[in-house]
Structure 1
Amino acid sequence: MNRSERGALLLFAAAIVAVLAVGSTIWSTVARAQGVPPTRLGINLNSPAFWMESRSYTNLAVYAHPNTQLPGQGYKKIEPQQVGPGGWPSKLPAGATATVDLFYPLDAKPGQVVRCTWQGQAKAWAADDIRMLTSGPNMFEFAFTREGRNAIRGTTAKPPRATMWFGDVVDTVSDVDCREADRPRDQVFDPAFVRSLAPFRVVRFMEWMNVNGQRPFSAANDAGSTMPRNYMNSATVRDMMALVRQANVDPWFALPYDSTDDYIRSFAQRVHDTLPPGRTVYVEIGNEAWHGGFFTGQRAMADGKAAGLGRYPYEGQLMQYALRAKRLASIWSRVFADRPRDLVRVYSGNLNYLQSLEIIEQNDVAPSIDAIAVAPYFGEKVFPKDPKLPRPGIDQAFVQLDKEVDATVAQIGKAKAVADRLGKRLIAYEGGAHLLIAYDVPLLDRMNHDPRMADAYTKLLTGWAREAGDVFAIYSLVGGSGAQGGFGLRDYDGAPLSESPKARAVEAFAKSHAPGK
């Protein structure tokens, strides 16, 4: 064999080796990707409340629960018999007044005019950091006298407030609406809020539905007109589906654990009838049934004991929740019988306690479930709960935080194996940083704004994409640091990315993992 033939043979052999190497890499990548769908980011919305740092509704009046004031008796929560079907004051005792805390826009400017309207026979006016301008039949206008809360952030100034008052309530007040005078009457949601949902494909309405509260549930509540959104009422199906259409997202509903079959059926039918073509609906019963600190877990344990389920109370709690999930799924399945591909029936469990995932193998629950949901949090163990114990400095804390991300990703892999064995999707109903330092909020705030927090979120989401893929609904959209934690991607509406490392990482990840809305 001459030199040229030998050279050609070597080149051919090298080419074969290269092809095999490339093929091996491709095959390895394909094999690794089997069963790991593309990641689709979701977000948990914050509860509409006048004290929150997020304005979702344009109507400033729907953020609070009305209170009453009786002559000489001070303020107290309004009594059920003093509330009409829409949640507003009705037939108050003589001399009584009712108050409604309005949402004071974070970007409010002095002189900005707000128009309030309502239906029903009653007098109404506004007070606190406002100046009354004009009034007429069932309307008045006022102007803000202080800057919004963003302007005083970081100072000791008392937050501005605006309160609407009702007196001489002869019949039922309804359709209360307060908004900037230049905003159209048919604008349900704040445009900036809708724009903030652009990076996300799924919106979880758990807090909008007050699933952790104990409100009375009936189909009428979700069919009514404009009503206050608070711990006594959930957002209406109509409003939530309107946001789904406007933001172009898939809805994820968490119906209260003690919902009646009629309520579940009515809710499902409204969603079915208004869900746009091509959209998918995720649905679960309750919230964190494995957690004894929430209403769902407490009721599930009590019901499990009463039914004699499980070898011990906690197992009975999980089994009872599984049966409720099965019941919910059966009702939604019948409603969506004509479009089953658009429905995802969710069973939620504890990422760090795999028994909560495996329990669906009992009582023939597994065939009724499409997806197992977990909450990939990290950071809860970085700081001791006892303030008397030594705690790490910020640099040491981030080293520990990085290790916790690794541990969380490892648990994601184990949960994915369980889901695969059961033939179910693995999705995340919540997730993100779970730092709790109630005794040192300034340290928590420093960590939430440190650039290294962006690295932690990127590492978590990259690990999720590698180990599980599919939907990851981050908790939550907005919320600053406080004694109860600091879970928000941003501290407040409109906070710049330069001050929001979590949001910076999430939005960058969303751009690089965009399967399309």
Structure 2
Amino acid sequence: MKLASLSNNGMGRVFLIAALLQFNGMLIGCGRFANSTNDSLTSTDRVNVSAQSSSSSTPLAAQTLTNAARKDFSSARVADQPNARSPLGINLAGVVSYSTELPFVDVFKTSHTWFSNAEGAGWAQGGPLALTREGWVASLRSGQYATTGLLDGGHYPTGNYTLLYDGQGQLDVAAMSGKGLTIVSQTPGRMVVKVTTEANGVQLNLRSTKVADPLRHIRFIMPGHEKTYQTQPFNPQFLKLLSPFKVLRFMDWAGTNGSQLANWSDRTTPSFETQSAVHGVSLEYMIQLANTLKADPWFTIPIRANDDFVRQFATLVRDKLDPSLKVHIEYSNEVWNFGFEQATYAKDQGVKLGLDKDQYLAGAKYYSQRSVEIFKLFEQVFGGTSRLDRVIAGQSVNTWSGDQILAWKNASKHADSYAIAPYFDGREILLNPDKAAQIARMSQDQVLDILQADLRGPIKTNMVASANLARKYGLALKAYEGGQQLTSFQFGNDEPQITKLYSDVNRNPRMGDLYTEYLNNWKAAGGGLFNHYSDIGTPIKFGMWGAVEYIGQDLKTAPKYQALRRYINANPTAK
């Protein structure tokens, strides 16, 4: 996401006038289950209790990924490789319980982290919850129970789901709506649950668990995938939608924005209770998805990651990623954007190191030099740069700051690409809270006309300016994100009406035409790889990001996705 406006004076001081936050997959309150407060999670008591204490077996997820990594890479790839000459990449939406992306056939991997409840108490008022390091419930006090939810974003497959678990305890399953869910069969460790659209999501309550053999390794498997979920963890429909794209940017999957992750030992692993954990999806799953689709991964390294973290990260990628794939490396995400905590962190570090008297420039220079340090660590692990694309990112509307970043300590000489996010949004009108009444009276065509003027005017100009900057430093110009950027949360009482209007605009066939013109302008300006933001997501007031709204959508009703596919077919790359 971009800042609403930005300027710099002759002293080089940058003033951030307003910020639009990119919530997308990280929103609290978008799903039915997530409407409940998560305050209790901040007091969660994590204890060192092994989830495997009563079993000598390797956790299923970790065992599956280890075995998959030993196979010939070609065995997991999509057969016809439709992305081989694709000029486009795509950002993946965040993994959360209410996402309509549904990437895993074991949908428990997208479940919410546990809420602590107690009989007779209010929601999430059960007190500290004792969890293992991997997030499984280690024990419960008298009257306490743990609750989680999944599939609360709607648009999920219906039919018989298979619930599997290890250990001993009492696990209740219920529909969030109170109807539309039936227990078909039940034996220790296995349950078959019929789920219909009426369920509006699934809630699981862990009522008791045996301390010596806690109930753990819960799986909730989509209909038809019980026999294959371990070796083929990804939803086939999800894979099909992503198959045209050459690059997968894992920024939201990694929980990059606001990340507090510094140490390798604290990262999410495949055996975690959920992949919607605070530190994002495990790197192993990102690598496996890239291998499966034969798509180059674009990784965003956490802002606080120490050198050991970076080395371990690079080593795992080197050892497990298909060696034919390119590795795009970027330090965090939009470190210039003070709507994100990482910008403040970089500023504070830059000031602490005395990199510049100007606080903004101190942060920009810290981002620049830490990016180079990370690149060098990857180069050491990979034994060179042939498999790497070292990305330094900047702001599409402000080449001045990009110039400062690239020039600092000759950072450009250690990079391969300069990346921006040239969103179009008609912001002077369409994002302006003072224009709410005017916008509410607009037709779809009037909104689309404003968007068209935007991409033909300032957006095109910014693309050319950024291309010139990249050319000055001998770098390729890429888009780490891009697409339309309409939001409506800022419009007060007019928000519901404008949300509907902007949602309909995104479904209008003319939006596909705008995308085609927009991408052609990008190519003409000298832009290379373009990563759309994002893949799958329903339109809400915080953004209409998804190229597709949900898995299983009729693609004839998805003009943005259709336009992306047309552009891919019309603009094949050399390889």
**Which TM-score bucket, shorter chain as reference?**
0.7 to 0.9
Residues 326 and 387, structure 2, Cα contact 8 Å, conserved in 1: yes
**Which of 160, 181, 184 is equivalent to 2:200?**
160
For 1:516 and 1:181, the matched residues in 2 are separated by: 41
State the AA in 1 paired with 2:234: F
Residues 69 and 76, structure 1, Cα contact 8 Å, conserved in 2: yes
State the AA in 1 paired with 2:183: M
The percent identity for this pair of structures is 25
Deviations 1:91-128 (A, max 9, x none): 2323321112122672433xx22111122333222112
Residue 99 of structure 2 aligns to a residue whose secondary structure is coil
State the AA in 2 paired with 1:126: V
For 1:269 and 1:322, the matched residues in 2 are separated by: 23
2:151 matched to which residue of 1?
A: 103
1:73 matched to which residue of 2?
A: 121
**Which of 47, 50, 55 is equivalent to 2:94?**
47
TM-aligned CA distance change 1:213 to 1:136, over 3 Å: farther
Aligned pairs (5 A) from 1:250-329: 250-329=296-375
2:380 matched to which residue of 1?
A: 334
**Which of 419, 435, 455 is equivalent to 1:373?**
419
TM-aligned CA distance change 1:447 to 1:393, over 3 Å: same
- Cα deviation for residue 77 of structure 1 reads 8.4
Residues 268 and 275, structure 2, Cα contact 8 Å, conserved in 1: no
1:433 matched to which residue of 2?
A: 484
Segment drifting more, 63-72 vs 226-235: 226-235
Deviations 1:54-87 (A, max 9, x none): 2111111111211111233333289886221222
TM-aligned CA distance change 1:469 to 1:131, over 3 Å: same
Segment drifting more, 68-77 vs 90-99: 68-77
- Cα deviation for residue 497 of structure 1 reads 2.7
**Number of residues of Structure 1 aligned to a counterpart in Structure 2:** 466
State the AA in 2 paired with 1:477: D
- Cα deviation for residue 388 of structure 1 reads 4.8
For 1:420 and 1:242, the matched residues in 2 are separated by: 34
Deviations 1:180-221 (A, max 9, x none): 353123231100000111220000011100011435454343
For 2:382 and 2:221, the matched residues in 1 are separated by: 38
- Cα deviation for residue 395 of structure 1 reads 2.8
Residue 338 of structure 2 aligns to a residue whose secondary structure is coil
State the AA in 2 paired with 1:106: H
State the AA in 1 paired with 2:166: Q
For 1:190 and 1:203, the matched residues in 2 are separated by: 16
- Cα deviation for residue 305 of structure 1 reads 2.7
For 2:401 and 2:169, the matched residues in 1 are separated by: 52
Q: Does 1:419 align with 2:470?
A: yes
TM-aligned CA distance change 1:452 to 1:318, over 3 Å: same
- Give the TM-score taking structure 1 as reference length: 0.85
For 2:270 and 2:550, the matched residues in 1 are separated by: 30
For 1:374 and 1:504, the matched residues in 2 are separated by: 23
1:123 matched to which residue of 2?
A: 170
State the AA in 1 paired with 2:395: N
Q: Does 1:185 align with 2:233?
A: no
Q: Does 1:136 align with 2:184?
A: no
**Which of 225, 233, 249 is equivalent to 2:279?**
233
Deviations 1:205-242 (A, max 9, x none): 11100011435454343444253122513211211111
TM-aligned CA distance change 1:341 to 1:79, over 3 Å: farther
Deviations 1:367-413 (A, max 9, x none): 22221110010014141223555335433322221121122122111
1:9 matched to which residue of 2?
A: none
Residues 346 and 373, structure 1, Cα contact 8 Å, conserved in 2: yes
For 1:276 and 1:77, the matched residues in 2 are separated by: 46
For 2:129 and 2:379, the matched residues in 1 are separated by: 37
For 1:346 and 1:125, the matched residues in 2 are separated by: 47
- Higher Cα radius of gyration: 1
Residues 65 and 230, structure 1, Cα contact 8 Å, conserved in 2: yes
- Cα deviation for residue 173 of structure 1 reads 4.5
State the AA in 2 paired with 1:177: R
Aligned pairs (5 A) from 1:163-174: 163-171=203-211, 172-174=214-216
TM-aligned CA distance change 1:224 to 1:62, over 3 Å: closer
For 1:177 and 1:320, the matched residues in 2 are separated by: 43
For 2:452 and 2:379, the matched residues in 1 are separated by: 42
**Which of 531, 556, 565 is equivalent to 1:507?**
565
Give the alignment's Cα RMSD to 1 decimal. 2.2
1:152 matched to which residue of 2?
A: none
TM-aligned CA distance change 1:260 to 1:404, over 3 Å: same
Q: Does 1:463 align with 2:521?
A: yes
Q: Does 1:498 align with 2:545?
A: no
Residues 93 and 101, structure 2, Cα contact 8 Å, conserved in 1: yes
Residues 415 and 426, structure 1, Cα contact 8 Å, conserved in 2: yes
Segment drifting more, 219-228 vs 239-248: 219-228
Unaligned runs of 5+ in 2: 1-84, 490-494
1:14 matched to which residue of 2?
A: none
Deviations 1:257-312 (A, max 9, x none): 01121111111100001121321010111111010001211211222233333232
For 1:409 and 1:77, the matched residues in 2 are separated by: 52
- Give the TM-score taking structure 2 as reference length: 0.77
Q: Does 1:176 align with 2:227?
A: no
